[in-house]
Structure 1
Amino acid sequence: SVIGFIWGGLLAGYVPIGAIVPTAAGKDKGAAMSVLNLAAGLSAFVGPALAWLFIGLVGAQGVVWIFAVLYLASAVMTKCIHIPEEKAVQEETSPQYAS
């Protein structure tokens, strides 16, 4: 269906997040990856929990709309993420600047 096609296209934007997070983290790659893994694990729990919680109140279509709003909110939050300039990262991680 058209909705499934649109959903798949929008979901594809989240596939490279495993590569983007370490790039944006700079020298804190380990902490960034642990937060990413925590978020991935929580989503496996929270998604079905939200569906269970709201399916009786708003039905299946309402649950889909709730997830659509959550995806939109995450897209807006993702837009606020800024990757540091490459030169600044090189200066920060360069051995000559290490203390």
Structure 2
Amino acid sequence: MPLFMVKKEVFEWIKTGQKTIELRTGKAKAGDEAVFQCGRNILRGKIINKNEGNLSTLLHNLDFREIIPTANSIEEATVYIKKLYGAADGTFTAYRFALSR
């Protein structure tokens, strides 16, 4: 069961249903349940599928707005992700999820 520590802005996107794909560096973690934590706040969801690849491929093959809801373009999404991770190379995993109600 992957645990994703997220910033407040990202937590709100998830909570309100704007964000349905969580992007992380590295290969996919095992498990079909996801836990999103921001401070003491927790949301749980079911992982629907996982996609691995480089950042550019994932952003082109998936709807980048499901990853970064405030982005107006793939370029804006890439800039946001680079600020989070410091780089955009290597393997990324996109976890598509649905919140448990």
TM-score (norm 2): 0.21
Q: Which one has the bigger helix percentage?
A: 1
Give 1 or 2 for the bigger CA radius of gyration. 1
Structure with higher RCO (Cα < 8 A, 6+ apart): 2
Using the size of structure 1 for normalisation, the TM-score is 0.22
Question: Which is strand-richer, 1 or 2?
Answer: 2
